[in-house]
Amino acid sequence: MAFWRRNTYIEEERHVKANAQDYNDKFSYADNHIKTSKYNIFTFLPINLFEQFQRVANAYFLVLLILQLIPAISSLSWFTTIVPLVLVLVITAVKDATDDYFRHKSDQQVNNRQSQVLIKGSLQNEKWMNVRVGDIIKLENNQFVAADILLLSSSEPYGLCYIETAELDGETNLKVRQALTVTSDLGDITKLTDFDGEVICEPPNNKLDKFTGTLYWRDNKFPLDNDKMLLRGCVLRNTEWCFGMVVFAGLQTKLMQNCGRTTFKRTSIDKLMNTLVLWIFAFLICMGVVLAIGNVIWESWIGRNFQVYLPWDEFLSSAVFSGFLTFWSYIIILNTVVPISLYVSVEVLRLGHSYFINWDRKMYFSQKDTPAEARTTTLNEELGQVEFIFSDKTGTLTQNIMVFNKCSINGKTYGDVYDEFDQKVEITERTACVDFSFNPLCDRRFKFYDGSLVEAIKLEDPSVQEFFRLLALCHTVMPEEKSEGDLVYQAQSPDEGALVTAARNFGFVFRARTPETITLCEMGQAVTYQLLAILDFNNVRKRMSVIVRNPQGQIKLYSKGADTIIFDRLDPSSEDLMYTTSEHLNEFAGEGLRTLALAYKDLDADYFDVWMKKLLFASTVIENREDQLAALYEEIEQGLTLLGATAIEDKLQEGVPETIACLSLADIKIWVLTGDKLETAMNIGYSCNMLRDDMNEVFVISGQTLLEVQQQLRSAKEQILGLSRVSSAGDVEKTDMSADDSVFEETIIAEYALIINGHSLAHALEPQLERVLLDLACLCKTVICCRVTPLQKAQVVELVKRHKRAVTLAIGDGANDVSMIKSAHIGVGISGQEGMQAVLASDYSFAQFRYLQRLLLVHGRWSYFRMCNFLCYFFYKNFAFTLVHFWFGFFCGFSAQTVYDQWFITLFNIVYTSLPVLAMGLFDQDVNDQNSLRYPSLYKPGQQNLLFNKRQFFLCALQGMGTSFLLFFIPYGAFSLIVKEDGSHFSDQQAFAVTVATSLVIVVSLQIGLDTHYWTAVNHFFIWGSLAMYFTILFAMQSDGIFGIFPSNFPFIGTARNCLTEKSVWLVILLTTVVCVMPGLAVCFLRADLFPTLTDKVRHLQQDRKRQGPQEQNLRRVRRTSSRRSAYAFSHQQGYGELITSGKNMRITTVSSAPSSGRVPHSSTWIDNMLKRKSEVACISNQSTGAAESSSSRTIQTPKKKHTD
């Protein structure tokens, strides 16, 4: 946004009046136009140039260009600097403009979406960008919400509507919003046109789950909360239409407030290069000062005696002034220590590495025709240095698809498939599915593989029937029958949808409901149950129950929930079945399935009547209503009879556990930041193998106040370190034992996990606690943050960036991940189910989380390795090339005379040595991609920044200085002794220059050949071709013909021919080459032989296996083996029971019946081991129940058990 349009007015309270645009315009509220791009036509040039000149090198070359324009000190032509500098600026500007063009295109696509706006008494189509605060807009089913709007009315009864908030919090389950009663009948245009209510509410903010306001209308005021609002980014679902009034628009909507700013990202190598350029510039000044002092001394002692032959220029007044001019002349001559071509080459390499990512077929997802895409070209080498990955859960790690996988009924398990030898068979795509054709109302997409369960249903096994009857009755799902038999379930929890769909396929079809009844189609027969009460779910109860009266007049309570909760409320008669079911639950949990226990109870009518009166009284009291209701629920949910358990698979994306395991071996820490509930996040943590039973401790931080969170964090940290290092006052005690935490990170062998919810995280991110949080998190192997807002995700990333010198990567697939993606050093978007916002804000994108492994361990490691080798070699060759002038200065009277001719200086970096180093930087690889994945530890040098750092630069510079010294003094010494074949001396400077230049080109070409690990035809062509090009150009420029055409530009006529035809010159070149190359070669050989790195060892193995051909990596599938079980309905929210019994969301549906048939059942195997006693289960139950409200530090201790394969 242009700076001159920014409004400095701080809004404290928002006033919005419906259908009163003139009134609303007085407040200058933001329009609905959004902007995620960085530039516009007017700001592109100044901002982009400012960003580019943040590179010290660009500013350095600009200063050199200005110096070269001064004739008195310039010994090189100005065009040798300005052309490459402009080329670099233009290439970078075009790349940045292209990136921003796609952002503009995305913005235009969103801004030009159509919305129906009520204007002058009629609905008119308007672009989103033209929607303004106070407008009344109409939304239709499956449409995105254009702005933050107050819901006025809808097509549903009582002004209800259903929305999907995947763009905001990653959850695809439906949520309910309800309009105020007074506005719910504003369904026609006339009433809406006359609506003149005024909303006074909070100013724009980023709190997605909170809204406070008041509607003033018809001399009354009505309170507004978040349940009355539809936020931008939501999608209207299962609602034909709704009307709403725009309260916040554009950049002031809660979604855009959470998006964060687009920042200019630079790699750590870029930042290091800035420092190195300053170092080199200081070194350059030192050399200039030394040579300038030498010039002053020489002119004072020797030069003044030869002024007859070497007269001073007219403006030279003294030797000191001559030294001053010489200083600037040498600065210009020696500037090639950092040539501008370095930056051109770096951009070319990054572009090439980006194309390699785009072209990688192993990162192409054929099902959606989605290739990997490098959306930026500036961050490739940083992919090889990542230490922290921040990942979303829903849609990133999981597919957000729930599948009914297995169950245990009356002590028998169903869901496994066995062969004729009674051996368990792994289920694949080729495994035959159960035939549900007997049930015309079945869901054709549902798959189950164990036919014995269908046979049990057909044989009318009472336990099996009661099991599925419970699943069909005990839920808050709403049915929608679009046509006869075409059922669609509106489930606000995907778990519930999976369970009700399973019951539907096994013959217990949930068809319709009213506030008082539930209608099922049981094996083809319509049965209506009277719904007497719903005992709703909440986080403390971890269960849900319904009380119904069946057609026979029996009153039954059906309950489902976390097994630890249900088992604690069972009748003693179910104890044996509980032990057996507990074993089955262990088996299910060990496979990463989400489990629930099911139980029922027959109720006496008289007892129920008395209990119901108590319930009606408790529901009307004002004080302690929740506590009284909870006590009544607890009273009636005792003495339950166990039916069995269900096992639902929350499908992970393919390869997620293997990818996480592999990245962990590379010392990459993965933190999961999700908007889901704690139970869901923990369950996925176990499924992904991030949480395991053999971990020493899992810390759960759930404090409600700053003091509680502080206490929990410090207690957990002390427990890990085993030291009381933190005082009660909050300061670290400075004792002899208080070593740096980073040391402890390296030495702690035990494994810990940290789980923190969003409310506690808000306190933990306060300045006084953030460092404690970070220290604790870094001591843990796994960190999971749940119920976090998009802004909190970004704050966690910023916390790590601020205090840890580590490269961060954020990966997500929804708009709720955009701020995190923008904040991290590297942002990765997954093109999933939740739109393209994350992809558009990302630096890299692909379709599956598993491709992250290849992006980092192969492309990232190779890019870092290639860039580091490229830089080391580039600095080496340029120090070797440039410092020859320094040594020559001592023999030319410090006169700023160059050794080489000007054309060699111009072409050395552009033609003679540019292509070989580019080939190495593009194609070199120390080990192949299979071994890069097979040995993740190869990634660690990048994290530790070992391949290119200040030490490596110093060694390269030292090697370059040594080479320049040898390049100058070996020919210099030889030329003072040798003679030509005709007996004459090599006395001319031109022959010396050719000899040194030829030696230099051969030495650097041999050196790059020795530094290359992976030879391709391109490498051979470029290295040997560059040598051939050098000799071709050398002889051409020093030929008689070109001298005849341009005598003043090519004065070295015949030098190459005369010099290089002498055998002694070639002997000098050979001697120089051997002496320059051999020390480096000996050091490399001895280092690899005596102190081999992991890379050396893997390369040796790779060479040994070369004859066997390439071997694909064969990672064993990582299976979770855990005894921990999940709790009920992880995305479920409290309050749906009351909504259903109120009848506000009911529709009238018709019920039809279907025929039934029967088959013979098949027996299933039992697990031999006995599990926990009931008292142990109850203990864990109490611990789990109290965790949410505990004020002290809580930990989840998972029992250790030995696993056998």
Active-site residue numbers? 392
Indicate the SS3 state at residue 788: coil
Dihedral through CA 206, CA 208, CA 214, CA 215, nearest 10? 110
Work out the burial of residue 851: count CB atoms within 10 Å of its CB; fewer than 13 is exposed, 13-18 middle, 19 or more buried: buried
Do the beta carbons of residue 1200 and residue 692 sit within 8 Å?
Answer: no
Write the CA distances from 563 to 539, 683, 1023, integer angstroms.
14, 14, 70
Contact 924, 868 (CB under 8 A): no
At residue 955, the 3 state secondary structure works out as helix
- Find all residues with CB under 8 Å of 317, minimum gap 6, and list them: none
Of 10, 7, 8, 12, residue with least CA distance to 30? 7
Q: Alpha carbon of 448 to those of 403, 442, 485, 585, 713: distances in Å?
A: 9, 12, 21, 19, 45
Q: Give yes or no for a contact between 713 and 772, defined as CB atoms under 8 angstroms apart.
A: yes
Using CA atoms, how far apart are residues 936 and 856, in angstroms rounded to an integer? 10
Contacts of 446 (CB under 8 A, 6+ apart): 404, 436, 501, 502, 504, 505
H helices present in 360-403, as ranges? none
Q: How many CA atoms lie within 13 A of 495 on its CB side?
A: 23
Asked whether the beta carbons of 1167 and 1092 are under 8 A apart, the reply is no
CA dihedral 1050, 1056, 1059, 1061 (to 10 degrees): -150
Q: Please state the φ and ψ torsions of residue 701, each to the nearest 5 degrees.
A: -100, 110
Sign of CA pseudo-dihedral 35, 38, 41, 42: positive
Q: Which long-range contacts (CB under 8 A, 24 or more apart) does 371-375 make?
A: 371/846, 372/844, 372/845, 372/846, 372/851, 372/855, 373/844, 373/845, 373/846, 374/843, 374/844, 375/99, 375/102, 375/839, 375/842, 375/843, 375/844, 375/845
What residues contact residue 1036 under an 8 Å CB cut-off, 6+ apart? 1042
Nearest Cα to Cα of residue 958 among 894, 880, 888? 880
Instruction: Determine contact, residues 415/405, Cβ cutoff 8 Å.
Output: yes
Q: Which two tokens stand for residue 465?
A: 């029937």
Cα(159)–Cα(151) distance, integer angstroms: 8
Distance CA 681, CA 683 (A): 5
Tokens of 40: 């516009």
Measured CA to CA, the distance from residue 779 to residue 742 in angstroms comes to: 9
Q: What is the dihedral of CA 798, 801, 804, 805, to 10 degrees?
A: -170
Q: Rounded CA gap, 48 and 154, in Å?
A: 48
* CA–CA distances in Å: residue 341 to residues 197, 611, 638, 797: 66, 86, 80, 35
Q: For residue 1093, with 0-12 CB atoms within 10 Å meaning exposed, 13-18 middle and 19 or more buried, which class applies?
A: middle
State the Cα torsion 1100-1102-1106-1112 to the nearest 10°. 170
Give bridge partners of residue 783 from the DSSP assignment.
Answer: 671, 754
Q: Are 1131 and 952 in contact (CB under 8 A)?
A: no
* Cβ–Cβ under 8 Å, residues 1059 and 1038: no
